[in-house]
Structure 1
Amino acid sequence: MALAAKHPIDFDLPIDLNATGPPETKGLRRDDVKLMILDSKSGDTTHDQFPRLGQYVHPGDLLVMNVSRTLPASFKVKLKRCGKLVAEDVEVRLGQRKSNSVWRVLLIDVNVQQGDEMIFSPNLKAFIRSSKKDQPLTTIWFSLKGNALYNELYKLGEPIRYEYIDEKWGLEQYQTVYGTVPGSVEMVSAGRAFTWELLIRLKKAGVQLANITLHTGLSYYGSDQWQVGPSDSLEEYEVPSDTIEKIRQTKQAGGKIIAIGTTVVRALESAVDSEGISVAKRGWTNLHIDENYSLKVVDGLLTGFHEPKASHLDMLSAFVSPELIRQAYSEAIRTKYLWHEFGDINLIIARDQHERSSFRN
């Protein structure tokens, strides 16, 4: 992977706008975050609080959630070569699942060889299948598979945490309330602010809900030498038939499909036939969505605020022009919105979607 060219959306993010922990740890509610509504046509912005999301979606619209659940994906292991201990406390981060027992992982500050053995616990080992110097991820084969592997991983691991996080928040803080299918190595963070109370209120107001599953891969490889682009990251997904039926009915009735997170956009836009019609589908996707991509399924996006030059900003450019994104992000910085997985939320949607709503708090 070569270094990426200059990104069209770059900006300076003040360090004090990094959300360092979840709202609940500060005595607030999970949904006590700010909401910026960005008109995808005009670039106009509206500022509100996330619990008032129902003011900006219509009865009959469909919110699509990613029900992938976060794995504890960071481990400390012992490394053996030819039966001899060569390193202890080696940090391993899960990157991409390839099968029930094979993963690609990121090894921090250690060199390995094919056949090396990693000791996770007395019950779990892994063996190096392949390691290439020109690639950041190493392929390993676990001694357990399926549910037995997941059970052991949950006993041993911790969530992946980045430098802006101020404390070792537990795995439960890295979950959405509706996540049910273990598989993501990083939190599907756009949906984190939802509470069951808000979801129920939205549903009672006539907003529909549907599910997909997309298991996120590792977003950062520990060095700017490696740029993680969508085309580099195959992610496993499933769009079930009942969700496809809800999409069909919503579009026929004139409602809008609103994705909760970029992962949902990627899954829904991958699950189409040759004519761009939604179909039930499962598999792996490395679909890269940018300003040149014509969205076939999704009409609006609920997402967090993304780092400068992040590949997620490419996807936002399919909804609204890069120039309008830059303007909106400048306003978000000026008005002190918070970034990252525990931060504030941005709804990108056409103006006619949020001029009126029958929803009441």
Structure 2
Amino acid sequence: MSDLLTAFEIPEHLHASSPIERRGLDRDQVRMMLLDPVSGRRAHTNFRNIVDTFQAGDVLVLNQSRTIPSSLQASGTNGEVEVRLARKIDDHRFEVLLVGKQYKEGEKLYFQDGLFAVVEKGGSEYPLQVLKFKLSGMSLIEYIYDHGSPIYYEYVEDPWPLNDYQNVYSSTPGSIEMASAGRAFTWGTITELEQKGVKICYITLHTSLSYYENDRWPSPSSHPEPYTIPQETVTVINKAKQEGRQVAAVGTTVVRALESAFKNGQLTKQDSVLTYLYINQEHSLKVVDALLTGFHEPEASHLDLLTAFVKHEILIEAYHEAIEQQYLWHEFGDMNLIIPGRL
């Protein structure tokens, strides 16, 4: 994807640094670019108008994972260090990013209120490491909620509270970072969609850490994420596919889950399993027809996933137009709905 890597650059002022509510507007007042992946046709609108784009019988799939406060402060032989949780391994262990530092196996990190953790073997890829915490299970989760904060990247101007990093419908804690494609939804929007006859259903995929600092991103092949697809969702989607109706994913996390669970010609129920699926232009989509997503950085594997929906030449043209139109990037930014045949 080398052509993608150099195809566009995000101007500094288009990095969304604050939630839209902190700018005096409502969540669903972010802007939205519509993109037909076949014709390349584009339109510019407001997210509140998303109801007009969908038809009765369409299926919209949301990720109900809830963001946990994944940044902790610790000290060790190398001084103070920010510990960013990257992925839960078991009740005692997390893969973590020790921001700007590496510790040797067997060394200890000390947290507030007497908690410590021991560095174990290396993580799934550099620079991740594995920490075994003194606490485990719910005791560890409660500690994380008491002492942690959301992960703040450099473009975020203030330490916004955890609730700003939640979708209104999120219910199952576990994501390291917000599944942000759903952030613009309000219960009012969801109700309007349902009243129109759009089927709303849910999966759960807990996101892993998406950025390792110093221009380093996870390797798509070394980025496991746990997901669950309930039978109710399986039934709705399989029926829709049989009837030739459109299935739209809210976010790349939903695409990854649904495409991972397609087996023997249909979507299958899954209960807290890991997906290693890497989706790019070579992947033939089996379940998902349309995608609501944010705008992604050129180095991110999320952008590779978009090329399963739309040729990268059309995508890059659209992204250049999004920059010209002053769309905002990242979790607090604007939306992009890639949907065939509705423009």
Q: What is the letter of the counterpart of residue 283 of structure 2?
A: Y
Which deviates further from its counterpart, 337-346 or 8-17?
Answer: 8-17
1:277 aligned residue:
266
Note the alpha carbon deviations across 1:299-333, whole angstroms, 9 max, x for none: 10000001123211111100010000011111111
Fraction of identical pairs, as percent: 45
The answer to whether the 8 A contact 2:65-2:205 is kept is: yes
2:71 aligned residue:
74
Q: What is the letter of the counterpart of residue 23 of structure 1?
A: I
The answer to whether the 8 A contact 1:261-1:301 is kept is: yes
Q: Secondary structure at the match of 2:267?
A: coil
The answer to whether the 8 A contact 1:112-1:131 is kept is: no
Shift of 1:124: 2.9
Question: Which of 103, 107, 111 is the matching residue for 1:116?
Answer: 107
Shift of 1:132: 7.3
Alpha carbons of structure 1 residues 52 and 158: separation in structure 2 relative to 1, 3 Å: same
The answer as to 2:289 corresponding to 1:299 is: yes
The answer to whether the 8 A contact 2:72-2:148 is kept is: yes
Unaligned ranges ≥5, structure 2 = none
Q: Which 4+ residue blocks in structure 1 deviate beyond 3 angstroms?
A: 131-134
1:24 aligned residue:
21
Q: What is the letter of the counterpart of residue 155 of structure 2?
A: Y
1:64 aligned residue:
61
2:2 aligned residue:
6
1:359 aligned residue:
none
Shift of 1:87: 4.5
Q: CA RMSD in A?
A: 1.6
Shift of 1:149: 1.4
Provide TM-score, normalisation by structure 2.
Answer: 0.95
Count of aligned pairs? 341
The answer to whether the 8 A contact 2:123-2:130 is kept is: no
The answer to whether the 8 A contact 1:7-1:309 is kept is: no
The answer to whether the 8 A contact 2:241-2:287 is kept is: no
Note the alpha carbon deviations across 1:261-305, whole angstroms, 9 max, x for none: 0000000000121x3421011311111111111000001000000
Q: Secondary structure at the match of 2:321?
A: helix
- Rounded to whole Å, the distance in 2 between the matches of 1:258 and 1:133 is 31
Note the alpha carbon deviations across 1:223-254, whole angstroms, 9 max, x for none: 23x43132121111111111100101222333
The answer as to 2:153 corresponding to 1:194 is: no
- Rounded to whole Å, the distance in 1 between the matches of 2:124 and 2:226 is 25
Which deviates further from its counterpart, 103-112 or 208-217?
Answer: 103-112
- Rounded to whole Å, the distance in 1 between the matches of 2:254 and 2:300 is 17
- Rounded to whole Å, the distance in 2 between the matches of 1:45 and 1:109 is 41
Unaligned ranges ≥5, structure 1 = 80-85, 356-361
Provide TM-score, normalisation by structure 1.
Answer: 0.91
